[in-house]
Structure 1
Amino acid sequence: MLSHSLRHTCSRLAAPATTSKAFYATVRNLRSQPSDSDDVEPPDNDFILSILRANPSSRDTKSYMANFGLRPRPNPLVHPIKDPLPSHSPPLPTRTLPHPKEEPRSVSPVVNDILNPIYRRTALVKIQGPFTDRQLDSVCRGIIYLEKLGLVSVIVIENDDLVRGDEHERDAILEETMRVAHFLESHGGKARPTLGALVRLGPSPDDEHTDAKGEYIPEAHAYPSDLTLIRSALRAGEIPVLPPLALDSFCRSTRVDANDVIAALVRAMVAAAPTPAPTSDPDLPPSPGDVDLTPLRLMIINREGGVPSYARAGLPHLLINLHSESHHIAATFQPAWRATHPTALATLALARTCLAAMPPSASAVMVNHRSPSSLIANLITNKPALSSSLPHGLAPARKLTPNTPTLLRAGLPIRVLRSPAALDRPKLTRLLEQSFHRTLDAPAFFARLATTLSFAIIAGDYAGAALVTAEPAPAPDPIAYLDKFAVLPAHQGDGTVDFLWVALHDESYGLGLPYAVNPNPGGHRGMGEGRDLVWRSRADNPVNKWYFERASGHCRMGADWVLFWCDAEKRLQREQGRRGNAGLSFVEDWEHGRIGLWKDVVGKIPSAWK
């Protein structure tokens, strides 16, 4: 919708405002009325609709198939069995056989794909009740859906209403374990409830010697040898359901926090992988009973939903960079949220500990029990329900609700550099050339940055970068120009793009707003006046669709280029407040002539490529 509207920006600038809904090249009118076309939640009991609603991109599909796709087995009709006799044995006598009535037919690859089991992966799931029967039925249905797609859950039960130390707490928690197993089996799954403890009480010996302050250290640990029951259940196609119990030094089981059990299991399962035994033929896939024990997802299913965000008026965070944001989120957590989301910060700390041990592609998700279908979307796309880098006004009100899940990634450190001398030229050159697949004219490019660089945002060890320059112009202030925005191919799809753009927003056109108080080293932390951000992109760039969704407007620059811009949000809010209910006019006085100025200045910027 947005990109279609923006295609006609320039022609509308000259057209009269014949309707109150006329759209100038900003998102101001889109901020008031959400679209009604696709905000109806399909029934969660429809497996196919849940998959279709995920709407995976081509990259999402490839990533899913890389993790869960079929490993084709050799066709015995195509690969005949080798002669088992030694080479020096005399040949066996032969005789002519009658021609068979029907020749063997080769099996269709499609049939093979249907008949062969998918390659299964594991997830650690915390079911954080209490839940009513109807709620738990919905949760278990979602878990069975995940199993159909190849993600087998290892479930740990928790009940927030059970008082620690109560006389009957053990009986109650075991009853809850059996209750979850019952609902899983009612939806066609096979569950293996465990009534004993699999983890050991006390921190891991490695944690006892750590000096990390403020880090979550689980009060339980496990060794790969402790996972025999889980491994057996997964190989048998069963879902382990575990109570939050741990063995003390006297081999007595005692109730502990479910977070401690999950953290202990994650570390042990990573240490125990890979479980499939190596085969003599590398082309053969794992047998149907084999399961990769390395957890690919951490899922927290609760009654609270995701982590509330100060930037979204208490609605959940969409995507969290744990490396850069977890301490800032804890520091800005409002007192009122401690009553409505009492376990949010504890879950945040759990996710950080677990994802530090899990593979880089792994993620964690916090989801309300009312949205089980969102687990399928997260599995297939490994992305949040809505992109966190979209303008807040473009998130449809009925899509972003208290039930919207929060996706958590281990993430990368984000820092802001103000001096060209602080840039690592070889690493930045490698990033730009691998991202754009072109050869950089390094001497000319860095000579230009030496005089024009405003700031650079660097993700990790140059896994991504956004370079903003101050372009001289016949105006009171120079033009803030996004010269380069690049992410290494290996990090495209892991959240780095969104993390980088959010930081770019907070340092340029979003500067001065309360929710731009970012924790990135070197950043302005929300202090200052926002500036219009301008950039150009080739007309055939496949990334333009992504730019259309985030830009305030765009305009063609001949046949080869498209000019994009984002209006300074603080100025727009100030103008809207000054005009009150009248709103902004079609073209404000300060907007006259600026697009022509931008096109003139940007069109003279030399290419950075050889």
Structure 2
Amino acid sequence: MLPRIPASCARASSSLSSTRNHTFKAFYATIRSLRQPPPEPDDAPLPDNDFIVSILRANPSLRDTRSYLASFGPRPKPPSAPSADRLVAASKDLSAAQSIPVALEHPKPSPVLSSILDPVVKRTALVKFQGPFTDVQLDSIARGMWTMTLCRGGNRMNGPPLIEETMRIVTTLEKQGARARPVLGAVVRLGPKPDDDDVTESPDLTPPEAHTFPSDLVPIRSALRAGEIPVIPPFALDSFCRSVRVDSNDVLGALARGMVEAAEIDNLQPGTSSDILPSEDVDLTPLRLMIINREGGVPSYARSGYPHLLINLSSEYSHIHDTFHEPWHSTNPTALSNLALARTCLNYMPPTSSAVMVSHRSPSSLIANLITNKPALSSSLPHALLQGNRRLTAHTPTLLRRGLPIRVLRTANDIDRPKMNALLEQSFGRTLDQQPFYERLERTLDFVVVAGDYVGAAIVTNEPCAGFAEPISYLDKFAVLPSHQGDGTVDFLWVALHDESYGLGHPFSANPNGGKGGVGEGRDLVWRSRANNPVNKWYFERSSGHMRMGPWVLFWCDAEKRLKLEQARRAHAGMSYVEEWEKGRLGQWADVVEKIPSAWK
């Protein structure tokens, strides 16, 4: 049965009570599933202009485009201050300077002119090929690749020889129009880095069993500057300088760490690359990790074995291990090892980086992830909408981020007020009226979900409502720092909010966020937003319904457990436009929400 998701109501006014019956029918008239785009077959061949088609399918937003340009666009270099010699020479008489013989040199192109004519700044990604793949499958993967750094992976000891497989990948990439170079010599060294004893790693983070130095990366840097994709088999040098085969995950972990360290050295020595044209400049810092295999992403207990859409490694890593069903060890044998690989690599890569685990059946997902840096479907969408979505298949990719720890606070005294003030004021761009705001929270606070060190927060209060046995669960504030908008924090925060409010009572709400662990009865969640708020589009997609109230829009999310029980009670008959427990609630919600005082000066 299609999920019953309400649409917009008629505008609330003084005649709200007289038009309530018509309003109920209006906001229950639209079925969201009808707005879903048709499914895209994973195995369908892409046309010759597949890169452009993939960009159009990715449908990047304005924020996605800005984020992409910030990561992959040309970076402005600070102007160099004129030296004292140049200042003295400029003050001399021009005629005297013209009498000095000058040796003719080949003029160097202006850096500004070069950046305009060829504004390419090469960035890198680490890609693990985890086969074995047939020629057709490898051909499909190669069509989805663009100028990236490749590291050939694979843990099958009984597969074809690595050198032959490496050359096969190079040949396939070149057949698709890419320029590739096999790097057959070992670029990593076996064992921990000599100074690792002084580095304190996370207690449950396994460091790679290999390391690399900047000098070892010369073949990779050379290939990238030549516009070629280096393809690297998983070899490492042991203590006797012998090239031995190692686990590909150790090679990738060592490369992620070593390339970030090499890029930091490059940034500290900007003069060493002053003669390099923009088209030859390479930033070795990897921004993406792509794991291409035969099985796809990490299966989720909350999606009946379908893959996780988005994983917050900082808060969900152990929970995924604990909820990994035994049969998945056979169907997805490398899911947990690849999960550990993503965690290791993202620990060294920039916070905005991401990893994606994707099946060879979804090559276009690589380009979509590169551009949007988002999952195929948002994990914060209503669960019923995700369960009925035709784009959610066994081969849907899993996006992984380093993420942030999530915790739930129950009292106003537990709130770090200076950090909360900074978060709210930066997020909303207004000055918080602190004293009445916190006095109100001391009386009405239900819980606060905090992401990281107050980079995001969701504040939920209990608002008394006449005619209801229990108060309204009201989302008072939902805020994320501007610097963390677009990096997954918004989705992580909303999923935790769902698990503590209207999603309670379902096993898929038992996430390790320090809250109720999914145990309890879900409650309707209500909130308001300015009618001209650009975030409303995002709210429309996640709410059960909305109603205009003059300058405000009232949103709500129905308790999911109650809806499920009602649907089960009525079997296949479905639910009517207005249930008994729904009658009159909009008018009472609107009356309560309109009286909530502003928190701003």
Shorter-chain-normalised TM-score: which range?
0.7 to 0.9
Shift of 1:591: 0.6
Residue number among 361, 366, 369 corresponding to 1:370 in the alignment:
361
> What is the correspondence of 1:73-92 to structure 2 with a 5 Å cutoff?
87-88=92-93, 90=95
Residue number among 42, 47, 52 corresponding to 2:51 in the alignment:
47
CA deviation vs aligned residue, 1:346-369 (integer Å, no higher than 9, x gap): 111111111111111111111111
What residue in structure 2 maps to residue 138 of structure 1? Answer: 140
- 2:570 counterpart SS class: helix
What residue in structure 2 maps to residue 429 of structure 1? Answer: 421
Residues 305 and 405 of structure 1 are in contact (CA less than 8 Å); yes or no, is this contact kept in structure 2? Answer: yes
Residue number among 465, 471, 481 corresponding to 2:463 in the alignment:
471
* 1:64 and 2:55 matched: no
- 1:361 counterpart SS class: coil
The alignment's TM-score, normalised by the length of structure 1, stands at: 0.86
How many angstroms apart in 2 are the aligned matches of 1:55 and 1:442? Answer: 41
How many angstroms apart in 2 are the aligned matches of 1:331 and 1:448? Answer: 39
What residue in structure 2 maps to residue 203 of structure 1? Answer: 192
* 1:353 and 2:344 matched: yes
What residue in structure 2 maps to residue 571 of structure 1? Answer: 562
Letter in 2 for 1:7: S
How many angstroms apart in 2 are the aligned matches of 1:448 and 1:347? Answer: 47
Closer, same or farther in 2 for the Cα pair 1:447/1:518, shift >3 Å? same
> What is the correspondence of 1:140-159 to structure 2 with a 5 Å cutoff?
140-143=142-145, 146-147=146-147, 152-153=148-149, 155-159=150-154
Residues 8 and 26 of structure 2 are in contact (CA less than 8 Å); yes or no, is this contact kept in structure 1? Answer: no
How many angstroms apart in 1 are the aligned matches of 2:90 and 2:419? Answer: 58
Letter in 1 for 2:151: V
What residue in structure 2 maps to residue 344 of structure 1? Answer: 335
Of 187-196 and 176-185, more deviation after overlay is shown by 187-196
Query: CA RMSD of the aligned region, Å?
Result: 3.0
Of 480-489 and 195-204, more deviation after overlay is shown by 195-204
Letter in 2 for 1:399: R
* 1:560 and 2:551 matched: yes
Residues 166 and 231 of structure 2 are in contact (CA less than 8 Å); yes or no, is this contact kept in structure 1? Answer: yes
How many angstroms apart in 2 are the aligned matches of 1:442 and 1:457? Answer: 19
How many angstroms apart in 2 are the aligned matches of 1:581 and 1:16? Answer: 25
Closer, same or farther in 2 for the Cα pair 1:85/1:429, shift >3 Å? closer
Shift of 1:287: 2.8
CA deviation vs aligned residue, 1:116-175 (integer Å, no higher than 9, x gap): 1421100111011100011111111211xx32xxxx22x222344433xxxxx7x71110
How many angstroms apart in 1 are the aligned matches of 2:115 and 2:277? Answer: 15
Of 113-122 and 352-361, more deviation after overlay is shown by 113-122
How many angstroms apart in 1 are the aligned matches of 2:119 and 2:45? Answer: 27
Closer, same or farther in 2 for the Cα pair 1:439/1:346, shift >3 Å? same
Residues 114 and 277 of structure 2 are in contact (CA less than 8 Å); yes or no, is this contact kept in structure 1? Answer: no
Residues 308 and 337 of structure 1 are in contact (CA less than 8 Å); yes or no, is this contact kept in structure 2? Answer: yes
> What is the correspondence of 1:175-186 to structure 2 with a 5 Å cutoff?
175-186=164-175
Residue number among 271, 278, 285 corresponding to 1:287 in the alignment:
278
How many angstroms apart in 1 are the aligned matches of 2:314 and 2:335? Answer: 17
> What is the correspondence of 1:55-454 to structure 2 with a 5 Å cutoff?
55-70=59-74, 87-88=92-93, 90=95, 115-143=117-145, 146-147=146-147, 152-153=148-149, 155-163=150-158, 172-207=161-196, 212-274=202-264, 275=266, 278-279=270-271, 287-395=278-386, 397-454=389-446
How many angstroms apart in 1 are the aligned matches of 2:203 and 2:246? Answer: 22
Residues 67 and 119 of structure 1 are in contact (CA less than 8 Å); yes or no, is this contact kept in structure 2? Answer: no
CA deviation vs aligned residue, 1:188-236 (integer Å, no higher than 9, x gap): 2211102221111123345557575442222211122211111111111
- 1:273 counterpart SS class: helix
- 1:217 counterpart SS class: coil
Closer, same or farther in 2 for the Cα pair 1:598/1:86, shift >3 Å? closer
How many angstroms apart in 2 are the aligned matches of 1:26 and 1:113? Answer: 54
5+ residue gaps, structure 2, are 13-18, 79-86, 100-111
Letter in 2 for 1:183: T
- 1:251 counterpart SS class: coil
CA deviation vs aligned residue, 1:429-459 (integer Å, no higher than 9, x gap): 1111110001111000000000000000000
What residue in structure 2 maps to residue 105 of structure 1? Answer: none
What residue in structure 1 maps to residue 512 of structure 2? Answer: 519
Residues 155 and 247 of structure 2 are in contact (CA less than 8 Å); yes or no, is this contact kept in structure 1? Answer: no
Residues 34 and 397 of structure 1 are in contact (CA less than 8 Å); yes or no, is this contact kept in structure 2? Answer: no
Letter in 2 for 1:599: A
What residue in structure 1 maps to residue 16 of structure 2? Answer: none
What residue in structure 2 maps to residue 79 of structure 1? Answer: none
- 1:462 counterpart SS class: coil
Letter in 1 for 2:243: S
What residue in structure 2 maps to residue 7 of structure 1? Answer: 8
How many angstroms apart in 2 are the aligned matches of 1:161 and 1:40? Answer: 29
Residues 155 and 248 of structure 2 are in contact (CA less than 8 Å); yes or no, is this contact kept in structure 1? Answer: no
Shift of 1:467: 0.2
Residues 34 and 398 of structure 1 are in contact (CA less than 8 Å); yes or no, is this contact kept in structure 2? Answer: no
- 2:355 counterpart SS class: strand
- 2:279 counterpart SS class: coil
What residue in structure 2 maps to residue 77 of structure 1? Answer: none
- 1:397 counterpart SS class: coil
- 1:254 counterpart SS class: strand
Letter in 1 for 2:224: L
Closer, same or farther in 2 for the Cα pair 1:290/1:91, shift >3 Å? same
What residue in structure 1 maps to residue 493 of structure 2? Answer: 500
What residue in structure 1 maps to residue 84 of structure 2? Answer: none
Shift of 1:255: 1.0
How many angstroms apart in 1 are the aligned matches of 2:55 and 2:531? Answer: 33
Shift of 1:548: 0.4
How many angstroms apart in 2 are the aligned matches of 1:16 and 1:471? Answer: 24
Letter in 2 for 1:253: S
5+ residue gaps, structure 1, are 75-81, 95-108, 164-168
Closer, same or farther in 2 for the Cα pair 1:368/1:603, shift >3 Å? same
CA deviation vs aligned residue, 1:298-347 (integer Å, no higher than 9, x gap): 11111111111111111111111100001101110011111111111111
Residues 419 and 455 of structure 1 are in contact (CA less than 8 Å); yes or no, is this contact kept in structure 2? Answer: yes
Residues 431 and 487 of structure 1 are in contact (CA less than 8 Å); yes or no, is this contact kept in structure 2? Answer: yes
- 1:90 counterpart SS class: helix
Residues 120 and 278 of structure 2 are in contact (CA less than 8 Å); yes or no, is this contact kept in structure 1? Answer: no
Letter in 1 for 2:492: F
Shift of 1:25: 4.0
Closer, same or farther in 2 for the Cα pair 1:92/1:426, shift >3 Å? closer
How many angstroms apart in 2 are the aligned matches of 1:577 and 1:127? Answer: 45
